[in-house]
Chains A and B, each alone.
Chain A
Amino acid sequence: MSSQGDTARTYYSEKLKQHGATARGVDWPSAASQYLRFVQLLKLCDFSRPFSINDFGCGYGALLEYFAYRHPEAAIRYHGIDISPSMIEAAELRWKHYTPATFSIGSQCRDAADYSLASGVFNIKLDWPVEEWETYIKSILTNLRAKSRRGFCVNFMLPLEEPSDEQSLYRTTPDRWMDFLKELDCSAEQISEYGLREFTLLARIPSIGEAPGS
């Protein structure tokens, strides 16, 4: 029986085959829009001190390009995880001389890091019923929570203004997932209105002895 992970593996492996290790190869319209997402997601991170990060659904490692462009001085230990073996192969080839970066094939984060980031991984649901897709999202968020020491960040697409018959994309509203992040004992912050029809959620994990949201 196939899983949501199988769906993602097939979909993104095919995109990579069509477009190579580029923004289009990970199904983003352009590198610039991808970078605009990273700007929002990385508001979670404290760049003034070294940190480690899990990049879940890393694709060919575009986040490393962004770090080199925007934060060249930052000390970041990076681990990219992707369910598509061909994506990881492309990432390892591209970043083989960059030692602070490692990659692994997987459907969840395996090791803990200071932060975890997942950009665009919940958007393409294809034929999966919404309820099952949301169960999958919950499992990923729970894993990100478990494998992050300081916090994690994700993004979702907002509903369209006009009704549409699109079935393959998952669109949602912030409240749906803000509440779930609180269930995970996180302090959740929502970012929207940044030029894209989507929102970003930053989930901060309280230190031991600190209440969520304090």
Chain B
Amino acid sequence: MGALVHDPNVPEAQTVLNSRFAPGDPLKEMIAIQKEFDVFSLKHSLASTSSLLNIAPSQAKDRRGWFKFCNHLRDVPSDTKGMTGHDRVITAVRDNLASAHPLPIFFTWHPGVRLEVSKGRALSFSKTEYLIISAPVGHAAS
């Protein structure tokens, strides 16, 4: 990740991402957008969906890096056999937003080689359960 988005700007990128899927109004908006436009779909790339939703760093160079990172996830394995990290993100978000009780989503990173999706308390000080999507940054930077 640091190779694609300038290190000091990575926290901002993560905040932008997580604020758009946060509990309350942001999650309601995302559910409505998904229901109306089916933006998280295997018909669309994560980069194009990210652009449409304006989920990307504000600096132009970092935005390009971010979209490159989204595309890079096509080459990253996931915790679902035979599914790339790219497709795993899309299907996890899509299925969550369409579910009867959608969870807020928390995006994070971990050193490793495969993208992982889980459910849990993303914020140790909060009882709110999140869908947690964690990207393997070690793989991206190598």
Most buried by B among A31, A32, A33, A196: A32
Q: Which of A23, A29, A31, A195 contacts B32 (CB 8 A)?
A: A195
Query: CB-CB < 8 A to A32: which residues of B?
Result: 33, 37, 39, 52-54
Q: Which of B30, B33, B54 contacts A23 (CB 8 A)?
A: B54
| Contact in complex: B54, A196 (CB < 8 Å) | no
Q: B89 on the interface (CB 8 Å rule)?
A: no
Give Cα distance in the complex from A196 to B52, angstroms: 17
Q: A197 on the interface (CB 8 Å rule)?
A: yes
Query: CB-CB < 8 A to A39: which residues of B?
Result: 36
| Contact in complex: A36, B54 (CB < 8 Å) | no
Secondary structure dominating the interface of B: helix
- In angstroms, how far is the closest chain A Cβ from the Cβ of B135? 21
Q: A11 on the interface (CB 8 Å rule)?
A: no
Q: B28 on the interface (CB 8 Å rule)?
A: yes
Q: A182 on the interface (CB 8 Å rule)?
A: no
| Contact in complex: B33, A36 (CB < 8 Å) | yes
CB within 8 Å for A197 and B25 given contacts A23-B54, A32-B52 = yes
Q: Which of B33, B53, B54 contacts A195 (CB 8 A)?
A: B33
Give Cα distance in the complex from A81 to B28, angstroms: 31
| Contact in complex: A31, B29 (CB < 8 Å) | no
| Contact in complex: A196, B29 (CB < 8 Å) | yes
Interface string of B23-66 (1 = CB under 8 A from A): 00100111111011101000000000000111100000000000
| Contact in complex: A30, B36 (CB < 8 Å) | no
Q: A24 on the interface (CB 8 Å rule)?
A: yes
CB within 8 Å for A195 and B28 given contacts A31-B52, A31-B54, A32-B53 = yes
Q: Which of chain A's residues 93-149 have a Cβ closer than 8 Å to chain B?
A: none
Residues of A within 8 A of B (CB): 23-24, 29-33, 35-36, 39, 194-197
Residues of B within 8 A of A (CB): 25, 28-33, 35-37, 39, 52-55
30 contacts between A and B (CB under 8 A): A23-B54, A24-B54, A30-B52, A30-B54, A30-B55, A31-B52, A31-B53, A32-B33, A32-B39, A32-B53, A33-B29, A35-B36, A35-B37, A36-B29, A36-B32, A36-B33, A36-B37, A39-B36, A194-B32, A195-B28, A195-B29, A195-B30, A195-B31, A195-B32, A195-B33, A195-B35, A196-B25, A196-B29, A196-B32, A197-B25
Given contacts A36-B33, A197-B25, 17 further A-B contacts (CB under 8 A): A23-B54, A29-B54, A30-B52, A30-B54, A30-B55, A32-B33, A32-B37, A32-B54, A33-B33, A35-B37, A36-B29, A36-B37, A39-B36, A195-B28, A195-B29, A195-B30, A196-B28
